[in-house]
Chain A
Amino acid sequence: MSILLQTEGLRVANRKAAEDIQSSQAATAAVTQLMSEPAGVAKRSLVTKKALATGIPEAEIIERAKEGDGACFEALYSLHKRRVYSLCLRMTGNTAEAEDLTQEAFLQLYRKIATFRGESAFSTWLHRLSVNVVLMHLRKKGLPEVSLEETLEPTEEDGPKKDIGACDQVLAGSIDRVNLERAMESLPPGYRIIFVLHDIEGYEHNEIAEMMGCSIGNSKSQLHKARMKLRDLLRVIRPMRAAGKK
């Protein structure tokens, strides 16, 4: 049992710890980037730089942004743009769409920030807002997020290839970030969205079901299929990359 057991508590704790680390990394990266910008760019961000470099707590930056302080809003953009953009890009698999959606997410943030009451972490709140922006966009495009007739039962085609000779192709230790990002781009949109939300962003199946208007079983089924598809893709990508290096 211990080999396979994966407790939900641990997942939640890991997610919170990851958020703290990401928030801290984002703040450090934003300050570093702003302090090293060329003079022309730096002029525009002068007040933002001061807001970040003087160590004003994010809570105060948020309060000032709520009052309409443009510099503090820009500071929030600098702190959170990577996370929002990464989410948009991974969910859509398209750079232009991801940039448009990042822009839309921050425009919505500007309009809605006064409603932020601090009941959750700001990053969590902004993240949820961004996910909703992407999902709304995908609905307008008519892309299938999840198929309503999906069930938790895997079908024959979802099963692994019963290829005994493939035992030397286990993935352990062989996936790098580039491979995984590339394989994710090749996933069907419905699989990709669930995989990103669950395995990368750390949402639970009940949260995903609520956001996407599907059943929890459906979310689980899509996630399983996404992982199986990724496994197949990674087993192809890896030999291709190895051959390319020769």
Chain B
Amino acid sequence: MNCAEFQRDLPLIIDTGGTEEQEDHLRSCEVCRDLVNDLRYIAEQAKLLIPMLEPSPKVWKGIEEKLKDQGLVKPVQVRRTL
């Protein structure tokens, strides 16, 4: 198996794993090994991105205004356990 043959199946290899022949090529080819490692590393790093980005306060203000404009908002109910 050469690099072109290996890389033709790359999406499937990354997704579901490689055949024995593909594993053999991976062990012997530094270029393809680096490529697979990089793609897997990118995917792993992406999973670590947490939703830490904060919208500006104007977003909530805009929501409040639109709810009022559309007559959707009801008076704040201070009740029961609140």
Contacts and interface: CB of A to CB of B under 8 A. Distances in A.
Interface residues of A, number: 68
Contacts of A3: 18, 23, 26
Greatest chain B CB density within 10 A among A3, A83, A111 is at: A3
A172 B23 contact: no
A220 B11 contact: yes
B-side interface size class: 35 or more
A18 interface: yes
A168 to B, nearest CB: 10
Contact of A1 (B10, B18, B34, B45): B18
Interface of A: 1, 3-6, 14, 18, 22, 25-26, 41, 47, 50-51, 54, 56, 64, 68-71, 74, 77, 81-83, 85-87, 89-90, 98-99, 102-103, 106-107, 110-111, 152-154, 159-160, 162, 164, 166-167, 170-172, 175, 177, 180-181, 195, 199-200, 202, 220-221, 223-224, 227-228, 230-231, 234
Interface in B23-63: 23, 26, 30-31, 34-39, 41-43, 45-60, 62-63
Contacts of B75: 70
DSSP class of B's interface residues: helix, strand, loop or mixed? helix
Contact of B20 (A1, A6, A64, A221): A1
A198 B15 CA distance: 12
